[in-house]
Structure 1
Amino acid sequence: MSRPLLGKVCVVTGASRGIGKGIALQLGEAGATVYITGRTFTPNDTPLPGSLQETAKQVEERGGTCIPVKCDHTDDKQVEELFNKINKEQNGRLDLLVNNAYSGVQAMLEGPTNKFWELDPGFWNTVNKVGLRGHYVASIFAARMMVPAKQGLIINISSPGGLTYIVSVAFGVGKAGVDRMARDCAHELREYNVAAVSLHPGAVKTEMVMDMLTRVQNGGKEYLVTKTSVN
């Protein structure tokens, strides 16, 4: 089996399920050492469904090396400690950061409305604190490792919602911000041989989206059908 990423050190945020989990599995299979983060961390390292330990177990079953780290991306200190841990354990090496952690999907899909004037102003933070702001904070600490090494790649998982209306105003503005952040980070990092990009996976059959669709088919709220194209 070809292992083109053997020796590379990667971080995937929000990897207990969904897109993040899929990325972690592929990176591990390609030979990378993958640090994965999330809030679903089970006691005694039991690989329960939807947990970081389950993702780590599956990465290792594919021949990869995976280190699950419980991390709340609303807490800057926890994010800093994550990168300090990687810095110490990997002798300062970090090749790839995938900013994927996002906490707003369920709130958007299950909310009573998507009209911005009918929502509590705090909905903005629900949608964008872990997403847009969390990506920015993780990128700061990753860049502090990549810039001295003059190599690295930062990937933001975004959405077509940054280009056209999907779901809500807060969602679209957040995704547009994620895209612009990648562009501007790339501008400042270019002279240090570090790249930053934004990816739009489009509609993905993640565990949460499939659960929502099942509930709609079983008589749930019909408006959910039009709200499932989110990342």
Structure 2
Amino acid sequence: MPDLSNKVCLVTGASKGVGRGTALQLASYGATCYITGRELATLEDVQAEAEGRRYSGRIFPVKCDHTNEMNTRKVFEKIAIEQNGQLDLLVNNVFTAVEYAFKNYNMGFWKQDISNWDLVSNVELRNNHICSGLASHLMFARGRGLIVNVNTVGGKMYPLIPSHVVGKAEKDRVADRFTLNFQRHNVAFVSLLPSMVRTDFITKFIEKDDDDDQALNEIRASCRQMLDCSESVEFQGKCIAHMLADENISKKAGQILLTTDLAEEYNFEDIDGKSPLSERSLKILTKIYGWSSLSSFIPSWLKLPNLIYNIVIRYNLC
């Protein structure tokens, strides 16, 4: 079990979903975890939940609008003052365009309002760059640290929604291209890709079945096929906790990591005691194609190599 009792962490966009789940898991392993969001009340709910679970770690809510650079800078100033300059982990999780991406996935970019580009770029691009830069000053001074870009396969897929795909692809590229500079200071920068996460939004989306949009219903059906590889909102937190405790984390610097691969490597399960199947699993991919009868005969451990999997995702083959 990771011991994070001496670690100071920051998770952005932690009011709900993966950010909330990540903060709770970090606290469960003893970390001091700062969390940000626009509504202080919802952040305090996360703090109260950690206390209710009697976790050894502590959660500190900080209200922050990440579209405002001064707001963001004040978060890091607060951590520097209260923790004597210590910051061991930054989780770039904040994202504001989930509903927009689902509602406009099939709309040509030439039909989309340019303000939707700003919805993604101001938070997922500009803010993540600011946060990573501010975190690096604290981490470089102490000679260690970990920065995790929470991402999705959106960065690899055919660009139905250009602004969304660019934002996701940028997270992968930053983790890759910044690695040499960060490794000189013993700071690892990685991009983390989950399977389908059972957030409140996704759960409600799957349950709904009354849209006139046939293509959207097909996506919904595909999501249902992926339930076997879906993960809780806290699964990524487990991945991040194990990486933070890994003394050899520098070997993963610059990589795009699947949560299910990390779970196999570090040998842990989701909070419900289950092990989500890898998105690279042929069992899952054949189910998505609609070959359920064939899928039942395929062992869950049989997976596509990363190179082939990336091609499948890139050309939307599944």
Corresponding residue for residue 32 of structure 1: 31
Worse-matched range after superposition: 201-210 or 219-228: 219-228
Corresponding residue for residue 46 of structure 2: 55
Q: How many percent of aligned residue pairs carry the same amino acid?
A: 39
Matched ranges for 1:16-165 at <5 A: 16-42=15-41, 51-62=42-53, 63=55, 64-111=57-104, 114-165=107-158
TM-score if structure 1 supplies the norm length?
Answer: 0.87
Change (3 A) 1:68 1:224: farther
In the TM superposition, what whole-angstrom CA distance separates every residue of 1:37-83 from its partner, at most 9, and x where no partner exists? 011222xxxxxxxx111111112233120001011111110010000
Matched ranges for 1:211-226 at <5 A: 211-214=204-207, 216-217=208-209, 219-220=210-211, 222=213, 223-225=215-217, 226=219
Conserved 8 A contact 1:13-1:98: yes
Corresponding residue for residue 251 of structure 2: none
Q: How many residues align?
A: 219
Conserved 8 A contact 1:5-1:32: yes
Q: Distance in 2 between matches of 1:107 and 1:40?
A: 20
TM-score if structure 2 supplies the norm length?
Answer: 0.65
Q: Does 1:209 align with 2:186?
A: no
Unpaired runs of 5+ residues, structure 1, are 43-50
Q: Distance in 2 between matches of 1:52 and 1:107?
A: 23
Q: Distance in 2 between matches of 1:195 and 1:112?
A: 33
Q: Distance in 1 between matches of 2:159 and 2:19?
A: 21
1:27 maps to a residue whose letter is L
Q: Distance in 1 between matches of 2:212 and 2:62?
A: 35
Change (3 A) 1:41 1:114: farther
Corresponding residue for residue 46 of structure 1: none
In the TM superposition, what whole-angstrom CA distance separates every residue of 1:90-142 from its partner, at most 9, and x where no partner exists? 01000000000000112222349532111012211112321122211111111
Change (3 A) 1:141 1:131: same
Q: Does 1:9 align with 2:29?
A: no
Q: Distance in 2 between matches of 1:194 and 1:53?
A: 30
Worse-matched range after superposition: 183-192 or 20-29: 183-192
Conserved 8 A contact 1:108-1:167: no
2:11 maps to a residue whose letter is V
1:59 maps to a residue whose letter is A
RMSD: 2.1
Conserved 8 A contact 1:83-1:142: yes
Q: Does 1:181 align with 2:180?
A: no
Conserved 8 A contact 2:150-2:193: yes
1:164 maps to a residue whose letter is M
Conserved 8 A contact 2:104-2:161: no
Worse-matched range after superposition: 194-203 or 160-169: 160-169
Unpaired runs of 5+ residues, structure 2, are 224-232, 234-318
1:58 maps to a residue whose letter is E
Worse-matched range after superposition: 103-112 or 155-164: 103-112
Q: Does 1:170 align with 2:169?
A: no
Q: Distance in 2 between matches of 1:115 and 1:5?
A: 46
Q: Distance in 1 between matches of 2:197 and 2:166?
A: 20
Corresponding residue for residue 304 of structure 2: none
Give secondary structure in 2 for the equivalent of 1:4: coil
Change (3 A) 1:121 1:149: same
Worse-matched range after superposition: 176-185 or 190-199: 176-185
The structure with the largest alpha-carbon Rg is: 2
Conserved 8 A contact 1:28-1:60: no
